[in-house]
């Protein structure tokens, strides 16, 4: 199927405001307003929808699909690509036609021959898994999020390519959708025995864990908004996220790498497969690398060149990335491999074939990140703030019209603010913004100044009817934060978020807006998917574990508490002194001259269970755990810890 410019956009009358939605239950998803439909018609006329090249590339080399496209675990569905079967034909008015096009491409599922000896399974998770055939077996590059989807992908591959053993694993970078399913393709015993090497960029394990642990609860709650996990799939619900359709929800785990890749130009051969590496730390992920396969003249760009404008800062929250370095790595990739490569592929989306097209694609992707970075810095030096640059910056026509540069995941708007943040921080320099009231306190004052909640809602309805949705979201957010039980404000704000979602080209913006509408109408959905599993916690170093505890200390509750605790890791011969004082938990391995209140002795492997409270050291003598000194000391320390809240409010106070 080739998506062409829509010729039959429905223009039949749709209610201009939710008041006119006669007969519809208040909480149901509404149709698109005429203002949103008109915006979509404009986009259809301005973008090159007649260009079907991506649809050809997304189907090129197709071998077979998984039928049905559903993966189970313990009787539970953990992946359902068939739920996106509605993505055919032209976009309905409730979906941005550009996002509809992207999601139609992402929903193409199955096993594909990229080039002889390299296969990909796409559409079985948020990411792709790539199989590189060696002399004896097959190397697995980026084994998805869940063991179940990774296992399903491997068995689909083997059904068509024979029962090849897995002879190596590569993780291109430290994000969960590139390693979480590893236990579905390789057994720990084979790795431990040295039969299957696991290659990853230097710093992989540290970053894979730290990015998901310290702020993990808040990120996971916000990821629920970003990926729309709680939303129904459909034209009025979740249609896709940008880099893929959504995240799978099966068993998430990790096997640490056995071989660190540390330098650009480093070469390794596994099972006869030659690989040349290019390091790209601090790009899309803190630990990331590109891999060139000379025998196939194929370059894997990990996640630094995909068919989206990626995130300089994701809306779930993360540390801001370096768009300048990112662009530099793409220039370097062209310089290193562009003279010889015949195709480029990534761990999201479909490959690009041919040297000229591949290099052109890499160069445009490079220009995209460089342009965003350089123009933002140019304008901030003219005194513009992030919010102002985001509205001012326009992409050059060649980028504006390149489908792979469209903002399905990152957006020009939020990436520009991220570049500003990287250089200038949260404060825009205007003293009015130095010490404003927090949301609830400001909201009460705004609503009082604006004549009370009912008056604001009446005026907001006029703005809604006029299509000024961004303004309605701003003022009604004040009403809901001042009076969360004001039903008319909640319903109109939900309708507003919904229309903003329908209008969004960015998959994660659509999910965020529709999730906000969902929670205003139906109440909080909490955190549908949590990425931190015991398997990952077990990989934390003792220092990371202690730091993870320190950020849970409830300062005011324990700022008079003083506890010293020695943790003696008997099998590795390291002793830590933990001190809780002034609401701070610090740790050191320096020799001590005073006795601690208590000493906990245990093997290193038992530390995560004790530190997370899953094991009680007093009753665990059999596991080699003992405690000496004041038996209450550990309890006093654990009592200082606060539990993170995976259900915190977002669209209400
Ligand atoms: Zn990814």
The mean-pLDDT minimum among 73-77, 127-131, 390-394, 493-497 falls in 73-77
Alpha helices in 214-354 (DSSP H): 216-227, 323-337
> Do 617 and 610 form a contact (C-beta atoms < 8 A)?
yes
Cα 14 to ligand 1 centroid, rounded to whole Å: 38
Q: CA 440 to CA 443: how far, in whole Å?
A: 5
Of residues 177, 80, 72, the one with CA closest to residue 127: 177
Instruction: Say how many Å lie between the CA of residue 194 and the centre of ligand 1.
Output: 27
- Residues lying with their CB under 5 A of ligand 1, a single-atom ion: 127, 175, 177, 303
CA distance linking residue 320 with residue 421, whole number of Å: 8
Give residue 370's pLDDT band: very low, low, confident or very high (50, 70, 90): very high
Q: How far is the CA of 606 from the centre of ligand 1 (A)?
A: 32
Tokens of 89: 């034909």
Does residue 6 register a pLDDT over 50?
Answer: no
With a CB cutoff of 8 Å and minimum separation 6, the contacts of 417 are 313, 386, 387, 389, 390
* The predicted structure's pLDDT at residue 621: 66
What is the spatial distance between Cα 321 and Cα 319, in angstroms, rounded to a whole number?
Answer: 6
List Cα–Cα distances, 523 to 236, 422, 619, 644, in angstroms.
18, 35, 41, 20
Tokens of 526: 């909490």
pLDDT in tens, 322-365: 999 999 999 999 999 999 999 999 999 999 999 999 999 999 99
298 Cα–ligand 1 center, Å: 19
Calpha distance 541→648 (Å, rounded): 29
Predicted confidence at residue 532, as pLDDT, reads 67
Q: Can you give the pLDDT at residue 620?
A: 66
| pLDDT at res. 230 | 92
| pLDDT beyond 60 at 611 | yes
**Sheet harboring 267-270: ordered strands across?**
267-270, 273-279, 289-293, 298-300, 343-345, 352-353
- Percentages helix, strand, coil for the chain (3-state, rounded to 5) are 40, 15, 45
Is 151:184 a contact under the CB 8 Å cutoff? Answer: yes
Cα 510 to Cα 102: distance, rounded to the nearest angstrom? 13
Q: What's the length of the chain?
A: 653
Alpha carbon distance 158, 361 (integer Å): 31
**Phi, then psi, of 297 in degrees rounded to 5:** 50, 45
Question: In this predicted model, what pLDDT tens digit does every residue of 507-525 receive, in sequence order?
Answer: 999 999 999 999 999 999 9
Q: Which segments within 40-196 are labelled E, that is strand?
A: 62-64, 70-73, 76-80, 110-115, 118-122, 129-133, 138-141, 166-170
pLDDT by residue (tens digit) across 420-441?
999 999 999 999 999 999 999 9
Distance CA 45, CA 185 (A): 46
Ligand 1 center to residue 244 CA distance, Å? 9
Tell me, what's the pLDDT at 618? 66
Residue 561 banded pLDDT, cuts 50, 70, 90 = very high
Residue, of 155 and 28, whose pLDDT is higher: 155
Beta bridge partners of 260: 200
Structure tokens at 311: 């995130």
**Distance from Cα 159 to the centre of ligand 1, integer Å:** 26
* Distance separating alpha carbons of residues 494 and 129, to the nearest angstrom: 38
Ligand 1: centre distance to CA 22 (Å): 43
Q: What is the dihedral of CA 107, 109, 113, 118, to 10 degrees?
A: 90
Q: Distance from the CA of 566 to the center of ligand 1, in angstroms?
A: 40
Task: Enter the tokens of residue 557.
Answer: 């509750």
**Tens digit of each residue's pLDDT (9 = 90 or more) over 10-64:** 222 233 333 333 334 446 899 999 999 999 999 999 999 999 999 999 999 999 9
Residue range 171-198, pLDDT digits in tens? 999 999 999 999 999 999 999 999 999 9
Query: How many CB atoms lie under 10 A from the CB of residue 23?
Result: 4
State the distance from the centre of ligand 1 to the C-alpha of 40, rounded, in angstroms.
28
Burial 484-505 (b: 16+ CB within 10 A, else e): bebebbbbbbbbbbbbbbbbbb
Q: What is the DSSP letter of 288?
A: B
- Evaluate if residue 402 carries a pLDDT over 90: yes
Q: Residue 311: exposed, middle, or buried by beta-carbon count in 10 A (0-12, 13-18, 19+)?
A: buried
Give 274 Cα–ligand 1 centroid separation in angstroms. Answer: 24
Cβ-based neighbour number of residue 249 at 10 Å = 21
pLDDT the model gives residue 366: 98
CA of 243 to the centre of ligand 1 (A): 7
Span from the CA of 499 to the centroid of ligand 1 (angstroms)? 28
Give the tokens for residue 164.
């090849």
Centroid of ligand 1 to alpha carbon of 451 (angstroms): 48
For residue range 194-241, what is the model confidence (pLDDT) as tens digits? 999 999 999 998 888 877 788 889 999 999 999 998 999 999 999 999
529 — pLDDT class (breaks 50, 70, 90): confident
Confidence of residue 7 (pLDDT cuts 50, 70, 90): very low
User: What is the predicted pLDDT for the residue at 536?
Assistant: 76
Confidence (pLDDT) at 622: 67
Please tell me the distance between residue 537's alpha carbon and the centre of ligand 1 in angstroms.
Answer: 21
Mean pLDDT over each residue of the chain, to the nearest integer:
93
Look at residue 27 in the predicted model and tell me its pLDDT.
Answer: 64
What pTM does this model have? 0.93
CA of 12 to the centre of ligand 1 (A): 40
Cα of 339 to ligand 1 centre, how many Å?
27
Distance 303 CA to ligand 1 centre (A): 6
Separation of CA 200 and ligand 1 centre (Å): 15
Total Cβ atoms within 10 A of residue 428 = 16
pLDDT in tens, 72-81: 998 999 999 9
Ligand 1 mean position, distance from CA 348 (Å)? 7
Instruction: Establish how many alpha carbons lie within 13 A of residue 484's alpha carbon, considering only the half-sphere containing its beta carbon.
Output: 13
CA distance 79 to 73: 9
Give the residue among 70, 36, 163, 56 at the shortest CA–CA distance from 112: 56
Give 461 Cα–ligand 1 centroid separation in angstroms.
Answer: 40
> What φ, ψ does residue 286 adopt, rounded to 5°?
-65, -35
d(CA 75, CA 70): 12
User: What's the longest Cα–Cα distance across the chain?
Assistant: 82
Residue 418 has pLDDT above 70, yes or no: yes
């Amino acid at each position: 199927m080739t998506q062409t410019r829509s010729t039959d956009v429905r223009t039949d009358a749709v209610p201009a405001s939710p008041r006119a939605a006669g007969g519809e239950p208040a909480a149901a998803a509404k149709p698109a307003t005429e203002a949103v439909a008109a915006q979509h018609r404009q986009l259809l006329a301005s973008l090159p929808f007649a260009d079907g090249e991506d649809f050809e590339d997304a189907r090129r080399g197709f071998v077979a699909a998984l039928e049905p496209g559903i993966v189970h675990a313990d009787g539970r569905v953990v992946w359902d690509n068939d739920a996106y079967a509605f993505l055919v034909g032209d976009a309905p008015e409730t979906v941005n036609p550009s996002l509809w096009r992207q999601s139609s491409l992402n929903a193409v599922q199955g096993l594909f021959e990229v080039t002889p000896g390299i296969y990909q399974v796409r559409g079985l998770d948020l990411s792709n898994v790539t199989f590189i055939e060696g002399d004896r077996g097959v190397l697995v590059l980026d084994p998805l999020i869940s063991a179940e989807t990774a296992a399903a992908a491997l068995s689909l591959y083997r059904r068509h390519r024979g029962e090849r053993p897995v002879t190596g694993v590569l993780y291109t970078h430290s994000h969960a959708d590139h390693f979480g399913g590893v236990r579905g393709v390789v057994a720990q015993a084979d790795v431990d025995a040295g039969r299957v090497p696991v290659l990853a960029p230097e710093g992989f394990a540290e970053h894979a864990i730290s990015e998901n642990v310290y702020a993990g609860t808040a990120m996971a709650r916000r990821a629920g908004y970003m990926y729309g996990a709680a939303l129904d799939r459909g034209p009025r619900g979740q249609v896709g996220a940008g880099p893929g359709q959504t995240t799978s929800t099966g068993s998430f785990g990790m096997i640490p790498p056995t071989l660190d890749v540390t330098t650009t130009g480093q070469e390794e051969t596994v099972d006869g497969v030659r690989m040349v590496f290019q390091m790209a730390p601090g790009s899309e992920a803190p630990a990331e690398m590109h891999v060139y396969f000379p025998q196939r003249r194929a370059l894997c760009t990990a996640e630094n060149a995909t068919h989206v404008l990626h995130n300089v800062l994701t809306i779930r929250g993360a540390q801001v990335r370096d768009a300048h370095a990112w662009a530099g790595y793409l220039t370097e990739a062209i310089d290193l491999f562009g003279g010889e490569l015949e195709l480029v592929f990534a761990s999201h989306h479909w490959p690009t074939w041919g040297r000229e097209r591949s290099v052109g694609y890499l160069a445009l992707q490079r220009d995209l990140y460089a342009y965003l970075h350089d123009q933002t810095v140019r304008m901030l030096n003219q005194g513009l703030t992030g919010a102002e640059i985001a509205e001012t910056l326009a992409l050059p026509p060649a980028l504006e019209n390149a489908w792979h540069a469209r903002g399905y995941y990152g957006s020009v708007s939020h990436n520009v603010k991220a570049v500003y943040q990287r250089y200038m921080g949260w404060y825009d320099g205007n003293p009015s913004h130095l010490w404003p009231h927090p949301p609830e306190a400001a909201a009460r004052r705004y609503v009082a100044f604006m004549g009370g909640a009912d008056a604001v809602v009446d005026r907001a309805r006029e703005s809604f009817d006029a299509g000024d949705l961004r303004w309605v979201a701003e003022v009604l957010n004040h009403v809901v934060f001042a009076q969360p039980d004001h039903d008319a404000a909640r319903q109109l704000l939900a309708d507003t978020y919904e229309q903003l979602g329908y209008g969004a080209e960015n998959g994660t913006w659509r999910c965020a807006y529709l999730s906000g509408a969902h929670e205003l109408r139906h109440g909080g959905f909490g955190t549908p998917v949590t990425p931190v599993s015991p398997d990952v916690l077990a990989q934390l170093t003792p220092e990371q574990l202690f730091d993870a505890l320190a950020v849970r200390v409830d300062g005011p509750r324990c700022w008079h508490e003083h506890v010293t605790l020695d943790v003696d890791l008997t099998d590795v011969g390291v002793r830590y002194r933990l001190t809780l004082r002034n609401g701070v938990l610090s740790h050191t391995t320096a020799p001590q001259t005073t006795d601690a209140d208590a000493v906990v002795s245990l093997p290193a492997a038992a530390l995560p269970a004790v530190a997370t409270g899953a094991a009680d050291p007093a009753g665990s003598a059999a596991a080699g755990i003992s405690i000496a000194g004041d038996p209450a000391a550990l309890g006093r320390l654990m009592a200082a810890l606060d539990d993170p809240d995976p259900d915190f409010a977002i669209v209400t106070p």
